[in-house]
Amino acid sequence: MAVILQTVFIMSAIAGILALALTLANLYIANYGECKIVINNDKEMVVDGGSTLLSSLNEMEIYLPSACGGKGTCGLCTCKILEGGGPILPTETPFFTKEELEDNMRLSCQVKVKQDMQLSIPEDLLNAKKYEAVVDFIKDETDTIKLLRFKITDGQEIEFKAGQYVQLLAPPYPGNPESVYRAYSVASSAQEKDAIELIIGYVEEGLVTTYVHQHLSKGDEISFNGPFGDFYLRDSDCEIIMVAIGTGIAPIRSILYQMKDQQLERKATFFFGARTQKDLVCADEMYEFEKTIPNFNFRPVLSREPEDSGWKGDRGRVTDSIEKYIEEGVEQEAYMCGSPVMIESAVGELKKKKVPEEKIFYDEFG
């Protein structure tokens, strides 16, 4: 018994010494003091060292895109570090080409601020802002997908291109002790400056989707920042092909509002993939767009609709409809949003139809 007690005492003592060592390390070894960050040889700020560059920039109201919330998995929070970034980490290299690495491109969520730094950040990212808003309404589109409208309350107006996205902030809530951002495409008209709409599906164990689906209510205050992204409708005379599944309809919906607002007469077809009729998000709106947008055609395709349901539309996958309806050799450009698997498959079908790769634009989620 005495031996057991002695062993427990020794182990407890070792654990205590290690905890003390870690505390001292945080206080002294990892205390980098104040660090100066200079952006584009123009904007200068002073931050406390030790945090990631991404979070330090956020604190100074400079918002780089980060669809994964700073976990190092999306590869969006890039910037050029001219001085003070330290050696590149193995977690960063998969996201850059050899030329980009030689050009000092880094993931800001993986770089710790340990010394003075000089950065180069595109000016359009510096224009991203933080907005305070209130939940105007929440509508169940399906059992797992909600349409939300956020009314901006801080006196600002938001300027964005149809197809771009914002980052929604989920505050701490039961089961999630920290604030976290996630990226969602704006689903509403860019002509509306005082509100945005998002389409958010529930993802099991997803921190922000859990907050939205289980904790957020009408009248609640929320924050978001943006806009971000280069997924938007190009100005050309090409025929438009749109492809989406699930919540990927969000940026397409925004682009369709643009086409309606501007009364664009370019021929456009939207292939939307879902499992059953119950999963057809915003279907009534899509059919209404057929009436209000010149030369627009909505083609939903269902993959798991019961054979005896009376559904008279297309069945299968969206790639089946692309193969069936898209003409080969016509001047076309494509806009797609969905999972990486869907995007890869659809790109392959579009290339078979001789759609140039440089005219295929997509926004992946997953």
pLDDT digits (tens, 9 = 90+) for 262-288: 999 999 999 999 999 999 999 999 999
Categorize the per-residue pLDDT at 10 as very low, low, confident or very high, splitting at 50, 70 and 90. Answer: low
Mean pLDDT of 151-174: 95
Mean per-residue pLDDT of the chain? 90
165-175 pLDDT tens trace: 999 999 999 98
Whether pLDDT at 159 is above 90: yes
pLDDT score for 67: 75
Length of the chain measured in residues? 366
Closest CA to 294 of 323, 263, 325: 263
Categorize the per-residue pLDDT at 24 as very low, low, confident or very high, splitting at 50, 70 and 90. Answer: very low
Domain with CATH 3.40.50.80 in the chain: 239-364
pLDDT score for 120: 95
Whether pLDDT at 123 is above 90: no
Sheet with 129-140, strands from edge to edge, namely 180-185, 165-170, 221-228, 129-140, 145-152, 195-201
Closest CA to 232 of 212, 257, 209: 257
For residues 107, 112, 115 and 119, what is the CA-based torsion angle, rounded to 10 degrees? 20
Mean pLDDT of 137-153: 97
Whether pLDDT at 26 is above 50: no
CATH of 128-228, one of 2.40.30.10, 2.40.50.140, 3.90.180.10, 1.10.357.10: 2.40.30.10
pLDDT score for 364: 87
Report residue 90: phi and psi, to 5°.
-60, -25
The architecture of the domain spanning 34-125 is Roll (3.10)
Mean pLDDT of 120-139: 93
pLDDT score for 29: 47
Estimate the crossing angle of helix 340-352 against helix 318-325, to 10 degrees.
Answer: 10
Higher pLDDT, 23 or 221: 221
Categorize the per-residue pLDDT at 6 as very low, low, confident or very high, splitting at 50, 70 and 90. Answer: low
Task: Name the region of 139 (left: φ>0; alpha: ψ -120 to 50; beta: rest).
Answer: beta
Domain with CATH 2.40.30.10 in the chain: 128-228
Whether pLDDT at 5 is above 90: no
45-104 pLDDT tens trace: 999 999 999 999 988 889 998 877 788 888 889 999 999 999 999 999 999 999 999 999
The architecture of the domain spanning 239-364 is 3-Layer(aba) Sandwich (3.40)
Contact 39, 126 (CB under 8 A): yes
pLDDT score for 113: 95
176-232 pLDDT tens trace: 998 888 999 999 999 999 999 999 999 998 999 999 999 999 999 999 999 999 999
Domain with CATH 3.10.20.30 in the chain: 34-125
